[in-house]
Amino acid sequence: MTALRSQQLQLLSPVKVESDTGVSTLDKIRAAKADLREEYEDTSQSFPWIVGYSGGKDSTLLLHLVMEMLLELAPSDRARTVHIVCNDTRVESPLVSDYVHQMLTKLERAIESLRLPVIVKETKPEDHQTFWVNLIGRGYPAPNRSFRWCTDRMKIQPTSNYIRSQVAANGEAILLLGVRRDESSTRAGSINRYQNTIRSRLNPHSDLKGCLVYRPIVDFTTEEVWTLLLQRPPPWGGSHRDLITLYKNAQGGECPLVMDKSQAPSCGTSSSRFGCWTCTVVEKDRSMEGFIESGADHLEPLLDFRDWLARIRNESTMRMIERRNGTVTFMKKNEKPILGPFTFDARREILERLLALQNEVKMELISEKEILEIKKIWAADTIKSVERAGTLPVVEPEL
């Protein structure tokens, strides 16, 4: 029996209160909230808080504790603005995307009614940097572990730009992340590395100048996270049952908010994480398979399309030899060229299939603005190709 299923059966029982360290779960909650309150009320600084929210269990627990802490303060003591920042890659798994958008709507309503100094912000890649514009427009091959171009453009840059804007407006900002040592050995090593060099609870962000990182739930175990979410109603109302159902159906976990390139392996690992439905970094999208097995049959065409993208990635007939800058690079020890972007014909075929898929599933998978950006890139690439070849103009690929 999984820890999640075990916790579901214990939903109505009292909070279990002994951890492996002998510290009760309730004591951990109290300590975490006391730590949050102490940091929030620190009069030596007034920098805004930015809470990273991905929709998963860890970021939900962090948000839950922050909101509880704010509600326990007198209105006059809520002097620091809190930003809840959620990233939408624009190719999120549809069920996850629907859940997250419903959550953000609930949060906005609760914040307004409770009159909390909280701002909800959803970051997205610009139209010229979306997954489809890079893959179909520029011809970037579907991402894999050695060429994970998507994480930086779709996750890191949009949220980093928002954080930079807050740093520019306020001098500094504090980024709260729901990361835990118990999540993985890689994450534990990253946390320990920072904490071994920095004495304060706030650590400088590795890439964002003026941004300090705060990890309030770092010592919570996975079992404790589920215990708290199962047995404590969220401050914004309702329950966490929808989140629990999402995890159960996906048979896995979420791709977390990624804030620097050192965290990129967390996005698209071999585990059953739910994230982008287009993710070809994983060999199999087990979370999407889990959703389909749980009754979401309408998602099966998306899974088939994703599998097709993964298959054609390394087909030489679908790829150009020249890179986008016109150069040809050869592998070491032989004369075999390293494949470049998708050919024009391949890009056109991907777009045609994507539009057909969009009609089939009755969801917007690519926007008109993205298609316009793709056509602009195709036109520019055609001109460059002609200039390099010194030949007569060729016909621009048709939609």
Q: Which CATH number do you get for residue 34?
A: 3.40.50.620
Phi, psi of 203, rounded to the nearest 5 degrees: -115, 140
Residue 125, domain extent? 3-138+151-266
Which strand (E) or helix (H) includes residue 223? helix 222-231
In this structure, is residue 184 part of a structural domain?
yes
If you search the block for the tokens 């009755």, which residue do you land on?
362
**Which pLDDT does position 325 carry in this prediction?**
77
- For the chain, what is the domain count? 1
Contacts of 269 (CB under 8 A, 6+ apart): 281, 282
Distance CA 71, CA 253 (A): 29
Mean pLDDT by groups of 10 residues along the chain of 399 residues:
42 42 82 96 91 96 98 96 97 96 97 97 97 98 93 95 97 96 56 48 94 96 93 95 91 58 52 78 91 95 98 95 80 78 97 98 98 97 79 50
Give the 3-state secondary structure of residue 335: coil
In this prediction the pTM is 0.84
In this structure, is residue 298 part of a structural domain?
no
Around 351, how many Cα atoms within 13 Å sit in the side-chain half-sphere? 27
Contacts of 28 (CB under 8 A, 6+ apart): 19, 219, 220, 224
**Which pLDDT does position 391 carry in this prediction?**
53
In this structure, is residue 344 part of a structural domain?
no
Chain-centroid distance, C-alpha 303: 19
311, 96 in Cβ contact below 8 A? no
In this structure, is residue 357 part of a structural domain?
no
